[in-house]
């Protein structure tokens, strides 16, 4: 039986997005994110894209601050190969949630 890919889905908060990604077979320890460019480099306080263990961008932050999981975000994950050159979501999860509370006007970057 073939895998039926999930359509893209929109979420108002990163917590909702990550919950859906976990239900789809991803774990925070095997998810990475790219930060908004600030002062010439990625800023770990402001996630703008979520990357799976096999280096696929599976979610992006929209200009209005909402998140969209891209079509096929639930595709089976291959854990072989190098890790993405990005921040590990599990490692920074509590900080991300804290930064959202402390810097709500900037979290929509």
Predicted confidence (pLDDT) per residue in 4-36, tens digit: 889 999 999 999 999 999 999 999 999 999 999
Long-range contacts for 15-22 (Cβ within 8 Å, ≥24 apart)? 15/97, 16/67, 17/50, 17/59, 17/67, 17/69, 18/50, 18/89, 18/93, 20/69, 21/50, 21/58, 21/59, 21/69, 21/73
Q: Which helix (H) or strand (E) holds 42?
A: strand 41-51
pTM, whole model, 2 decimals? Answer: 0.87
Note the pLDDT of residue 43: 94
Rg (CA), the chain: 14
> Above pLDDT 90, what percent of the chain?
72
Note the pLDDT of residue 77: 82
């Amino acid at each position: 039986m073939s895998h039926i890919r999930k359509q893209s889905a929109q979420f108002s908060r990163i917590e909702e997005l990550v919950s859906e990604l976990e239900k789809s077979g991803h774990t925070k320890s095997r998810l990475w994110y790219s930060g908004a460019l600030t002062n010439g480099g990625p800023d770990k306080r402001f996630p703008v894209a979520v990357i799976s263990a096999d280096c696929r961008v599976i979610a992006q932050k929209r200009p209005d601050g909402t998140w969209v999981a891209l079509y096929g975000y639930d595709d089976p994950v291959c854990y072989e190969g190098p890790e993405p050159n990005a921040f590990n979501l599990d490692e920074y999860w509590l900080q991300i949630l804290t930064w959202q509370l402390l810097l709500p006007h900037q979290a929509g970057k």
